[in-house]
Structure formats: C-alpha cells, structure tokens
Structure 1
Amino acid sequence: MKIALLGYGRMGKEIEKIALSRGHEIVIRKDVEDIIDITLADVAIDFSIPTAAYNNITNCIENNVPVIAGTTGWLEKYDDAVAFCNQKQGAFLYASNFSVGVNIFFELNKQLAKMMSNLEDYQISMEEIHHTQKLDAPSGTAITLAEGIIENTSKKGWELGTNLSFENIPIEAKRIPDVPGTHTVWYSSEVDTIEIKHTAHSRKGFALGAVIAAEWIVGKTGVFSMKDVLNIR
C-alpha cells in the first residue's frame, strides 16, 4: 500500500517503521502546514494535532482516500466527520487507542462495569499516565473507558480530578516523562478494591494496530472502529 502519514511526530515515525517492515510505502509525510496531494496515497493515517485532525480527515474523505484517525482532542467534531463520510460514501475509522491489548481492555472494562452496576458500595475512579508531550487530558483512551462504564452503570459522566462522586467518574491525569500510556480503573469499597489496569511498554503496539487498521480498511466503505478490525463482539 501507499500510505500518507498525516502527522510525523513520534507516533508517525513509529508507524513508518512498522509499515515499511510490512512491505508498504510511505508516499506522504505531512507536518501541520504542509500542502499535499492526498490522492497519491491508497490510505492515510492521521496522528497529527487536535486543530489539524478534522481538516485532514475531511480532506481524505473528499478525495476518496480511506483514513485512519488516532488523534485525540478533536472529538467535538467527530459526529460531523461521520456525517461527512456517510454523505461522501467514504471510509473512516477513528480509535482513541489502536493497541490490540487496549481494545481487549475496553471490552473487559465494559463487562466489569455491568457486573458492578448494582453494587452501590463501590466508588469508581480512574487514573491515566502519559508522557509530558501529550497535549490533551484526560487521554482519549481514558474517556473511552469512562464512556464504557457510563453506558453500563448509573454514572452520568466523568470529570478531571480526584474528587469522588456518586454521579461522575473522577479521572486523574498524570504526565511523566517517557511513559507511553498506563490506564487504571478502580472499584473501591470499605472492605476491598477491584482494579483493572493496562500498561503499554512502548508505542509499538499503537503503531502496529494503526497499520493493521489501514490494511483492513482499504476497499471498504463506511465508518468503523477497532472492534470491526479485530472482530471483537
């Protein structure tokens, strides 16, 4: 495949290594202000910045180039991107995290939330830890985890911080140098604590998942998620 990398930071460079090792060609490496011809690519992978992501995605869809989006912090426009993709009959896949392990963790999180939904003695809280260059907080992965809990419990939303609340899920966001990503969910009561945790050891898992998604989406039409790529049901 001919791949466009929209965003050529640390994740873009890691994706490039994985893509080349799997026999693909990188035809575009785009920083924020670069002008490109996206039609040179068979598929695009966006790991740019929040202010550039939506324009990158819609440019791909407009030009009939399937696009994989991993940038977080722009999701107030996600529904617009979905509507535009459906209107243009394009192909678009967004994931807050492309790691195979994290996507399994998402499903485990939902199942645990269902099991705990009627146990009101347990307080739910979350923590996410990332490198100091991460621009958004909480992480998109943490928000996805919170949404999975909200869907399956009486929680109404999430809030950034550590104050325990019966209505919302507190998410503590920490920024520590050279941490690829650690996410923890706690259910705590007076008598015990149940904890599930995912720890990424490097960015390689994220990059591999993004390339696998790019390989999968070529030739398809629609709006997808990593559950479709990994056939998780």
Structure 2
Amino acid sequence: MRILVLGHGKTGKLVADVAAERGHGVHVLDAKENKDAAALTPMFLTGFDVVIDFTTPEAVVPNLRACLYSGARVVVGTTGWYDKLPDMRGLAERKEAGLLYGSNFSIGVQVMHRLAAEMGKELGNAGYTFEMSETHHVTKLDKPSGTALTLVDSVAKGSQESGKAGVEVRNVPIESIREGDAAGLHVLTATSQADRITLTHEAFSRRGFAEGAVRAAEWLATRKGCYDFRDVFTKL
C-alpha cells in the first residue's frame, strides 16, 4: 500500500517509520512542500491509497478539502478543526471519499473513552462532579487537547444514557498543562462528598498514536464514508 503522510513533526515522522516497518511505501510532505495544500492535486493523489494527516489546525482543513474533493481516503490525527467536521463529512459523502478522524489513535485511550462513558452513566446522577486535566509538550498548539474534549464528551454521552439530566460538557472544567516533551497525560476525576474516582492514561511515547493511525489507514483503504476512530478501533 502507498501512504502519503502530511506533516513532518514528531508524530508525523513516527507515522512514516511505522508505516515503512509494516511494509508500506511512504511519501512525506512537510509544510514547506505543501503550502495551502497546493501539492495535493488530483493527479498527485492518485498515486496513494491513503493519506494520513498530522499537521496543524490551520493546515488540516485545506488539506482535507483537496484530498476529499479528489475522492481520496484520509486519516486525520490533527485536532482543533472539528467545527468544520460537518462540512468535511458532507464533502466525503458527495465525492465518495473516505474520512477517518480521531482525537487520539492510542488503543488505550479508546478504552479510556469507554470507561469515561461508563463513569458518566453510573456517576453523573449520583452526586459526583467531574474534572479533566491534560498535560502535553510545550509545542502542542491546541488547548485543551482534542483528547480531553472528546473524553469529556464521552462522560456527557454516557450520563445521557441513564435517561436523566446528567453531566453537561460545559460544566466539566479542563486544566491544560504544557511542559517539556510530555507525550500525553489525561486524568479524569469524579468526586463526591464521600469519595473520589480517578481514571488516568499516560503515554510513554508517541508510538501508540502512530501505530493506531497506520492501522486505521490500512482499515480505511478499502472503504468510503466518514468514521470516528472511537467507533471503529475494535475492528482494526
């Protein structure tokens, strides 16, 4: 399989390495080579089975427009663009392209989402308040992290399953910390007058994100439509 990697930052480089390790042909475009998505012409994109984007919130939407317009399959690990998700989903459907997005491609984080939803379901109407904290490297651009935002969303959706007025996203504070080269630490806390429950995921490196993204690309290569990684990670 031929994979085009957009973004040559720390995660993008690792995605390219993992894809090569798994036997795929890899081509990488950095920001200078792809300003305003200019390199992503329909002819150029026909040479690839899947595109993986780990760029920036500013670059990802032009990249997506160019790729989806050409009917490409795109895996997006960049966050900070979800306000444009309805537009991108519609474009993918019209052009019979493939779009798979996720705030975090770590399998461990996906399990944390399910546990967060369960906490919301069981504790959201039981006198507990929720808090979220996330720690990342100093060069991470978006704040709060996309993973923190989607974890809070999982809590809220889980609480709604109880059929009662549950946790609202706006009522869950998120603390964002930027220090050193931290790969990612997410801590969800539920506190009552009687006790506290803490759910933690700590990434030791970016390897888990890269492996998940490449596996997602392998899965998407033969599919059309729009998918949330939270919904499909068990199928990889």
TM-score, normalised to structure 2, is 0.90
Question: Which residue identity does 2:234 align to in structure 1?
Answer: L
SS across alignment from 2:138: coil
Q: Going by fraction, where is helix more abundant, 1 or 2?
A: 2
What are the equivalent positions in structure 2 for 1:216-227 lying under 5 Å apart?
216-226=219-229, 227=231
Distance in 1 (alpha carbons) for counterparts of 2:95 and 2:32 = 24
Partners of 1:231 and 1:23 lie apart in 2 by 20
Contact 1:27/1:40 (<8 A) preserved? no
Structure 1 unaligned residues grouped into runs of 5+: 159-167
Distance (Å, rounded) in 1 between the aligned partners of 2:188 and 2:112: 11
**DSSP 3-state at the match of 1:40:** coil
Distance 2:234 2:4 in 1: 22
Give the percent of matched residue pairs that are identical in Structure 1 and Structure 2: 37
User: Residues 28 and 41 of structure 1 are in contact (CA less than 8 Å); yes or no, is this contact kept in structure 2?
Assistant: no
Corresponding residue number in structure 1 for 2:16: 16
* Cα offset, 1:33, TM superposition: 5.2
Contact 2:132 2:172 in 1 (8 A): yes
Say if 2:234 is the partner of 1:199: no
Report deviation, 1:75: 1.2
Post-superposition offset of 1:23: 0.6
Counterparts of 1:18-33 in structure 2 under 5 Å?
18-31=18-31
Residue 32 of structure 1 and its aligned partner are, at CA, apart by 5.2
Q: Name 1:165's counterpart in structure 2.
A: none
| Counterpart for residue 135 of structure 1 | 141
Residue number in structure 1 paired with 2:232 = 228
Structure-2 residue corresponding to 1:180: 183
Q: Determine whether 1:56 maps to 2:63.
A: yes
Moved beyond 4 Å, runs of 4+: none
* 2:108 is equivalent to residue 104 of structure 1: no
Query: Given the alignment of the two structures, is residue 113 of structure 1 paired with residue 116 of structure 2, yes or no?
Result: no
Alpha-carbon displacement from aligned partner over 1:196-220 (angstroms, at most 9, x marks no partner): 1111110000000000000111111
Query: CA–CA distance in 1 between the matches of 2:33 and 2:146?
Result: 24
Q: Does 1:86 align with 2:93?
A: yes
**1:146-204 CA distance string (max 9 Å, x none):** 1111223323323xxxxxxxxx0000000111110011111112321111111111000
Q: CA deviation at 1:50?
A: 0.5
Report the CA distance between 1:85 and its aligned residue.
Answer: 0.6
Query: 1:177 is paired with a residue of what secondary structure?
Result: coil
> 1:77 maps to what in 2?
84
- Post-superposition CA distance 1:23-80 (Å, at most 9, x none): 1111342325524222221110000110110111121111122000011111111111
Q: SS of 1:207's equivalent?
A: helix
